[in-house]
Amino acid sequence: MTSSPSMENGASSSSGSSSSLLASMQQFKLFETHSNFYMIGWNGSGVYRILKIDRLDASELNLREDSTAYTKKECYDLLKRIHEGNKATGGLKLVTLCYGIIGFIKFLGPYYMLLITERREIGEICGHSVYEVSKSEVISLQNSSVLCNIANSRDENRYKRLLCVVDLTKDFFFSYSYNVMRSFQKNICAHESGGTLYKKMFVWNEFLTRGIRHHLQNTLWTVALVYGFFKQTTLSEAGRNFKLTLIARRSRHNAGTRYLKRGINESGNVANDVETEQIVSEDVPVDHPMQISSVVQNRGSIPLFWSQETSRMNIKPDIVLSKRDLNYEATKLHFESLVERYGIPIIILNLIKTKERRPRESILRAEFANAIDFINKDLPEENRLRFLHWDLHKHFQSKTANVLALLGKVAACALMLTGFFYYQVTPAMKLEGYMSFSSSDADTSPYNSSDDDSGEYDSQEKNFRPSKNVANGDYDVKPSRLQRGVLRTNCIDCLDRTNVAQYAYGWAALGQQLHALGIRDAPTIELDDPLSSTLMGLYERMGDTLAYQYGGSAAHNKVFSERRGQWRAATQSQEFLRTLQRYYNNAYMDADKQDAINIFLGTFRPEQGRQAVWELRSDSHSNGQSGEISIGEDERFLVKRCLSDGNILHESHTSMSAVSSKHESVSHRGFVSSHQVTHIISESSPDMPAAGDVTLSRCTPSMPSTHFFGDAQKVQHNGSSSIYLSEQEDMSSVSNFVDVEWLSSSENLCENDQLYRPSALTMYSTMEMSSSENSISEVKQSTLAVSESGSSSRKGKEPMGTELSVHTKIRDDFPDSFKQWVAYGEALCH
């Protein structure tokens, strides 16, 4: 395509250097003539750029970027010449002021351009502003004077209305200078820029920007949209201000609504896959070094082939479990992807029900256990998936169980294994347009980045070391830490129960983060602390937002409501209304919403002569792109259903006791060696309390899964052997990284336990932990040592004082009953 003479005759300017050309453009003006759109963009350095978009053939995307850098005067002189040259057809007109291009999309007729016309700042990370979309606009590239039957057809207009179902003003956020689609740790450890960032799984307009990125080979004109949740608040503790930021990033893979997107697809992508990041940073002036800490956790649908058919007659549709993946290949792919993204260990917290009158969730519970054991059997013990099956609903119904306190103990055990990220950002780094280590900061990077944020995780320890910055005042940089591995939480919907567990993890991590920043002396926070209530409010808002996106209503927050002391009748009324709202949206609104998501993400692409997306009316019959599931008639025989009569009709295809030796072993891609794992765990672990809300000596980093599964009762059905629940063994407590008996005994703690709990820290002298990372390994080996025989019964147990004798000393000025509780973990009151 040739440019207009007016653009060719524009005087070039030497005022814009190559570095300023690459500076982020944050404001734009869109002009139009009869035959072209002209977008003018400028940055804070006073450099102006021009993008030309053809309107004569709107069925094709024709773009041209002027390589000249203009001053403001030069740019507007050029626009005047364009206006003069087009007076015969109406001249040059201003269309709108905008803040970035979301992308381009085509249905059956012309292309449309999506623009951000209003934005609102919602926070900042290390001086880099984060915005949400306040208003957007869809503009047809075709001139209104050009006749086109397709452009005004009924199907075209319906596609346009369907696109608007995706409300860009709700929960979409972006940043011009900070890669908000990546965790803070990844931004520090491995710098990435340009088009590779758009291929990440959390960028929702990857498909919409594909055309312009291909034409221009840059991303100066577009913004990368993240869908999920972003909330930042400034708090004060002991006279020191800090910012608490909570971010949820929803994956665009296998994305959709509650009943239309369940389980896993062939590519290993699960539904409702959300990464949650909690960032704590000092609130300091720009010219001061800033301490910052982050911790990441994950939620996602149970990684099996299962579904629920939307029903207008049944508020709880049947769960359908498919036998299509006999060797759990897709499940393996999913966990390998997690390893590549986060490293090891992968810790699974499964919260679904164990015992039901009508087996529904428990069917998935048993099959998920089979899958984990099947995968683990071919892995070295150090690389195995860590798991805890814990029926949250059952424990919440218990009068003696403090669900949040128990989940907090599980979270602390998980934190011991994964650690969290801590780094001291220098003023020079804050002034850069990106966050990245310089070559002097580290010798190696733990990430080998690739497309889709799934680069193979490099297990080699990053060489963090103190450094000096003469230009900013000569100060010492504290030793940094890395998070290795992740906690993955799920229930059925990964909304309500999952959000409670994620809050518990965030609560346990917050104490550690504030302790690392030197804001708190103790690494724990009590549930009654106002800071815990503030954090609960953030997670509650996040839970409601994610639940609206996936489920159609706010989250069920019975645990949070009870914790706040809300009137039980009010809670029940609120939960009932949310159930009705969720049912209505799932039954009547989700089909259109799913179609809109498929159009927005490019999962379904309209074509002339092909069925429209609303005519298919089944998400499983999309065009098969992005790993979509398609169940044909020849596959229906593979599916068994949980019917309303309560019979378990699912045929298990694997028996953990008798798996054919012909099965292929699980791929070790993304799994590092056992020696490297030990090194990672020992050197990334945060400082942990010797006692307090969590008794760390009761956590064991590894326990063979056969210890738990060996005695499980196996139920024969239709000639297959499958592990199901028996009356003798509660499978919800099965774990290979938490002492299950210790966790179960914690349910006996009465309310007085919470009153005494703050004193537990003072009962022991402070555990001395060297700032050297090498010393952490020795502490962990002492605090994590638990023998299987010692956990089988109270008889023969060594008291905690004995287990921690090297590092602790028990004080004598406490009642015997209190010392008995701390030493043995038994109930404090009887």
Q: pLDDT per residue over 712-749, tens digit each?
A: 333 333 333 333 344 444 444 478 888 877 777 766 55
Instruction: Determine how β-strand 226-237 pairs with β-strand 172-174.
Output: antiparallel
Q: Looking at mean pLDDT, say which of 375-379, 392-396, 427-431, 453-457 comes out highest.
A: 375-379
List, in sequence order, every residue forming a beta bridge with 457; answer none if it has no partner.
Answer: 447
pLDDT tens digit sequence for 664-684 = 444 444 454 333 333 333 333
Average pLDDT (217-239) is 94
**Angle, nearest 10°, between helix axes 774-783 and 674-684?**
100
Rounded to the nearest integer, the mean pLDDT of the chain is 74
- For the cut 50, the answer to whether the pLDDT of residue 652 exceeds it is no
Tokens of 453: 């944020």
Question: Which run of H or of E encompasses 432?
Answer: none
- For the cut 60, the answer to whether the pLDDT of residue 204 exceeds it is yes
Q: Tokens 């059905």 — which residue?
A: 717
Lowest mean pLDDT among 141-150, 252-261, 804-813: 804-813
* Cα distance between residue 816 and residue 186, in whole Å: 49
Phi then psi for 545, rounded to 5 degrees?
-65, -50
pLDDT tens digit sequence for 742-780 = 777 766 553 334 433 333 333 333 333 333 333 334 333
pLDDT at 608: 86
Lowest mean pLDDT among 147-151, 203-207, 265-269, 440-444: 440-444
**Per-position DSSP letters for 33-44, written without gaps between them:** -SSEEEEEEE-T
pTM over 0.85: no
299 and 266 in contact (C-beta within 8 Å)?
Answer: no
322 φ/ψ sector (left φ>0, alpha ψ -120 to 50, else beta): beta
Phi then psi for 781, rounded to 5 degrees?
-60, -30
Three-state secondary structure call for residue 258: coil
Residue 770, exposed/middle/buried by CB under 10 A (0-12, 13-18, 19+)? exposed
Polymer length of the chain: 830
Contact partners, residue 27, CB within 8 Å, separation at least 6: 41, 42, 97, 99
Name the pLDDT band for 545 (thresholds 50, 70, 90).
Answer: very high
Name the pLDDT band for 285 (thresholds 50, 70, 90).
Answer: confident
pLDDT tens digit sequence for 559-603 = 877 777 777 777 778 888 888 888 887 888 888 999 999 999 999
Three-state secondary structure call for residue 724: coil
What is the radius of gyration, based on Cα positions, of the chain?
28
- Give 308 or 255, the one with higher predicted confidence: 255
Q: What percent of the chain has pLDDT over 70?
A: 66
Q: Looking at mean pLDDT, say which of 174-178, 554-558, 627-631, 781-785 comes out highest.
A: 174-178
Lowest mean pLDDT among 165-179, 234-248, 468-482, 760-774: 760-774
For residue 531, the one-letter residue type is L
* Cα distance between residue 11 and residue 71, in whole Å: 10
Nearest to 531 by CA among 762, 280, 228: 280
Name the pLDDT band for 312 (thresholds 50, 70, 90).
Answer: confident
- For the cut 60, the answer to whether the pLDDT of residue 180 exceeds it is yes
Contact partners, residue 581, CB within 8 Å, separation at least 6: 552, 553, 554
